[in-house]
Chain A
Amino acid sequence: MAEPDNAELLALEHEGDLASFCPHCHAPLNMYDAGTRRVWVGLAVRVNGAACGLLLDPRLDASERRCSDGWNDGDLAEDVICPHCEASLLEADGRCERCEAPVFGLEVSVHTRVVPLALCTRAGCPWHGISTRTRAKILAESPRQKKPEQDAMLRVRNFSEVSYGYDGEQAVAEAGRCLQCKKPTCVDGCPVGVDIPGFVSLIAGSEFAAAAQRIRLRNALPAICGRVCPQDQQCEKLCLLGKKGEPLAVGALERFAADFERETDQVRLPRRATKTGLRVAVVGSGPAGLTLAADLGVQGHSVTIFEALHKAGGVLVYGIPEFRLPKSIVEAETGNLRRLGVKFELNSIVGKLYGLQELFDLGFDAVYIATGAGLPGFMGLPGENLCNVVSANEYLTRVNLMKAYLFPEYDTPAPKGRRVAVVGGGNVAMDCARTALRMGAREATIVYRRTRDEMPARDEEIQHAEQEGVRFHYLTGPVGYVGDEQHWVRQLQGVRMKMGEPDESGRRRPIPIVGSNFLLDVDLVIVAVGAGPNKVLFEGAEGLERNARGYIRTFTESGRTSVPKVWAGGDIVTGAATVILAMGAARQAADDMHAYLSDGQTAWL
Chain B
Amino acid sequence: MYSIADRQELTKRDMISLTIEAPLIARKIVPGQFVVVRVNETGERVPLTVAYRDAATGTITIIFQVVGKSTALLASLGVGDAIKDLCGPLGAPGHFEKVGTVVGIGGGSGIAVLHHLLSGHKEAGNRLIGIIGAREKDLLILEDEMRALCDELVVTTDDGSSGEHGLVTDALKALVERQERIDQVLAVGPLVMMRAVTEMTRIYGLPTEVSLNPIMVDGTGMCGGCRCTVGGETRFACVDGPHFDAFKVDFDELIQRNQMYGRDERISLLTSIKVR
Q: How far is the CA of A536 from the CA of B223 in the complex (A)?
A: 13
Residues from chain A with Cβ under 8 Å of B265 in the complex: 413
Q: Which B residues are in CB contact (< 8 Å) with A318?
A: 218, 222
Q: Mark A377-391, 1 if CB is under 8 A from B, else 0.
A: 010100011011011
Task: Write the chain B residue with the least CB distance to A414.
Answer: B264
Looking at A308, A411, A536, the one whose CB has the most chain B CB atoms below 10 A away is A411
Contact residues in B for A388 (Cβ distance below 8 Å): 260
Interface of B is mostly: mixed
> How far is it, in angstroms, between the C-alpha of A390 and the C-alpha of B220 when the chains are bound?
16
Q: Whose C-beta in chain A lies nearest to the C-beta of B272?
A: A408
Asked if residues B84 and A310 are in contact (CB atoms below 8 Å), the reply is yes
- Determine whether the beta carbon of A310 is less than 8 Å from that of B221: no
Report chain B residues within 8 Å CB of A308: 87, 218, 220
**Could you tell me the dominant secondary structure of chain A's interface residues?**
loop
A387 engages B257 (CB within 8 Å): yes
Q: How far is the CB of A116 from chain B (nearest CB, A)?
A: 59
Once the chains bind, are B224 and A413 in contact (CB under 8 Å)? no
In angstroms, Cα B257 to Cα A486, docked, is 10
Asked if A376 contacts B28 (CB within 8 A), the reply is no
Structural contact, A352 and B260, CB atoms closer than 8 A: no
| A513, chain B: closest CB distance, angstroms | 28
Contacting A535 at CB < 8 Å: which of B223, B229, B239, B253? B239
A192 to B166 CA separation, bound complex (whole angstroms): 68
Contact A402/B24 with A411-B70, A411-B268, A535-B239 known, Cβ cut-off 8 Å: no
B218 touches A535 (CB 8 A): no
Interface stretch, picked from B36-44, B119-127, B139-147, B192-200, is B36-44
Interface residue ranges of B18-72 to A (CB < 8 Å): 24-25, 28, 38, 42-45, 69-70
Residues of B contacting A384 with CB < 8 Å? 234
A420 CB to nearest B CB, Å? 15
Asked if residues A376 and B218 are in contact (CB atoms below 8 Å), the reply is no
B217 part of interface (Cβ distance < 8 Å):
yes
Asked if A352 and B217 sit within 8 Å, CB to CB, the answer is no
Task: Compute how far the CA of A347 lies from the CA of B24 in the bound complex, rounded to whole angstroms.
Answer: 11
Check B224 against A411 for contact (C-beta < 8 Å).
Answer: no
Q: Is A88 an interface residue (CB 8 A)?
A: no
User: B220 — nearest CB in chain A belongs to which residue?
Assistant: A308
Q: How many angstroms between the C-alpha atoms of A526 and B220 in the bound complex?
A: 20
Residues in B neighbouring A387, C-beta threshold 8 A: 256-257, 259-260
Q: Does A349 reach chain B (CB closer than 8 Å)?
A: yes
Measured CB to CB, the closest approach of chain B to A231, in angstroms, equals 28
Q: Determine if A393 is an interface residue (Cβ-Cβ < 8 Å).
A: yes
Q: Does A1 contact B (CB under 8 A)?
A: no
In Å, the complex CA distance between A349 and B257 comes to: 27
Judge if B204 is at the interface, Cβ distance under 8 Å: no
CB of B85 within 8 Å of the partner chain: yes
B243 to chain A, nearest CB (A): 15
Q: A391-B224, A407-B264 are in contact. Are A352 and B85 (CB under 8 A)?
A: no
Docked-complex contact A411 and B43, CB < 8 angstroms: yes
Bound CA–CA A32/B264 (angstroms): 75
- The CA of A385 and the CA of B271, in the complex, are separated in Å by 30
Q: Does A577 contact B (CB under 8 A)?
A: no
Q: Is the CB of A347 within 8 A of B220?
A: no
Within 8 A of A (CB), among B184-217: 217
Min CB–CB distance B53 → chain A (angstroms): 13
Query: Contacts A380-B234, A408-B267 hold; do A536 and B220 have CB atoms under 8 A apart?
Result: yes
A376:B89 contact, CB within 8 angstroms: no
- Nearest A residue to B87 via CB reads A347
Is residue B225 within 8 Å, beta carbon to beta carbon, of the partner chain?
Answer: yes
Q: How far is the CA of A402 from the CA of B42 in the complex (A)?
A: 8
Partner of B42, one of A375, A411, A415, A486: A411
Query: Are the C-beta atoms of A397 and B227 separated by less than 8 Å?
Result: no
C-alpha spacing A352/B90, complex, angstroms: 7
Q: Does A353 contact B (CB under 8 A)?
A: yes
- Minimum CB–CB distance from A437 to chain B (whole Å) comes to 19
Question: Would A390 and B221 be within 8 Å (CB), given that A310-B84, A412-B44, A487-B253 are in contact?
Answer: no
- CB of B228 within 8 A of chain A? yes
A375 B222 Cβ-Cβ under 8 A = yes
Q: Which residues of A contact B224 (CB under 8 A)?
A: 376, 378, 390-391, 393-394
Q: Are B223 and A393 in contact (CB under 8 A)?
A: yes
CB–CB A390/B268 < 8 A: no
In the bound complex, CA of A168 to CA of B126 (Å): 75
Q: How close is B92's CB to chain A, nearest CB, in angstroms?
A: 9
Contact with A along B246-276 (1 / 0, CB 8 A): 0000000100110111001101100110000
Partner of A394, one of B42, B223, B229, B259: B223
Q: When chains A and B are docked, how far (Å) is the Cα of A536 from the Cα of B28?
A: 15
CB-based nearest A residue for B86 = A347
CA distance A377 to B268 in the complex (A): 30
Task: Tell me whether A385 and B272 are in contact in the complex, defined as CB-CB below 8 angstroms, given that A411-B70, A413-B264 are known contacts.
Answer: no
Residue A346 CB within 8 A of the other chain: yes
Interface centre among B73, B87, B239 (most CB of A within 10 A): B87
State whether B43 touches A415 (Cβ < 8 A). Answer: no
User: What residues of B have a CB within 8 angstroms of the CB of A374 in the complex?
Assistant: 220-222
The answer to whether A407 and B268 have CB atoms under 8 Å apart is yes
Residue of A nearest to B92 (CB): A539
Nearest Cβ in chain B — how far from A213, in angstroms?
33
Candidate in A318, A352, A487 with the most chain B CB atoms within 10 angstroms:
A352
C-alpha gap A374/B218 in the complex (Å) = 11
Q: Which residue in chain B gives the minimum CB-CB distance to A394? A: B223
Contact residues in B for A391 (Cβ distance below 8 Å): 223-225
Determine whether A574 belongs to the interface, using a CB cutoff of 8 Å to chain B. Answer: no
Are the CB atoms of A385 and B253 closer together than 8 Å?
yes
Q: Is A534 an interface residue (CB 8 A)?
A: yes
A398 within 8 A of B: yes
Q: Does A409 contact B (CB under 8 A)?
A: yes
Find out whether the CB atom of A347 lies under 8 angstroms from the CB atom of B223.
no
Give residues 404-436 of A contacting B (CB, 8 Å).
407-413, 415
In angstroms, Cα B271 to Cα A535, docked, is: 39
Which residue of the partner chain B has the closest CB to A531?
B222
| A397 and B256 form a contact (CB under 8 A) | no
Q: Is A309 on the interface with B (CB-CB < 8 A)?
A: yes
Q: Are A385 and B257 in contact (CB under 8 A)?
A: yes
B133 interfacial contact with A, CB 8 Å: no
A138 to B160, CA, bound (A): 91
Residue of chain B at shortest CB distance from A352: B89
Query: Which chain A residues lie closer than 8 Å to B42 at the CB level?
Result: 403, 409-411
B104: chain A residues at CB < 8 Å are none
Bound-state Cα–Cα, A594 to B224, Å? 37
B224, B256, B271: most-surrounded residue (chain A CB, <10 A): B224
* Nearest residue, chain B, Cβ from A307: B87
Contacts of B261 in A (CB 8 A): 413, 415
* B242 at interface by CB-CB < 8 Å: no
Residues of B within 8 A of A346 (CB): 85
Given contacts A353-B25, A387-B260, contact A536 B217 (CB under 8 A): no
Inside 8 A of A403's CB, which chain B residues have their CB?
42
Given contacts A390-B225, A534-B239, 16 further A-B contacts (CB under 8 A): A310-B85, A348-B87, A374-B221, A375-B221, A376-B222, A378-B227, A393-B224, A407-B264, A407-B268, A408-B271, A410-B42, A411-B42, A411-B73, A413-B265, A536-B220, A536-B221
Q: Residues of A at under 8 Å CB distance from B?
A: 308-310, 318, 346-349, 352-353, 374-376, 378, 380, 384-385, 387-388, 390-391, 393-394, 397-398, 402-403, 407-413, 415, 486-487, 534-536
List 4 A-B pairs, minimum CB-CB distance, nearest first: A413-B264, A487-B256, A394-B223, A310-B85
A-B contacts, 9 of them at CB < 8 A, read A347-B85, A349-B87, A352-B90, A385-B229, A391-B225, A408-B267, A413-B264, A487-B256, A536-B221
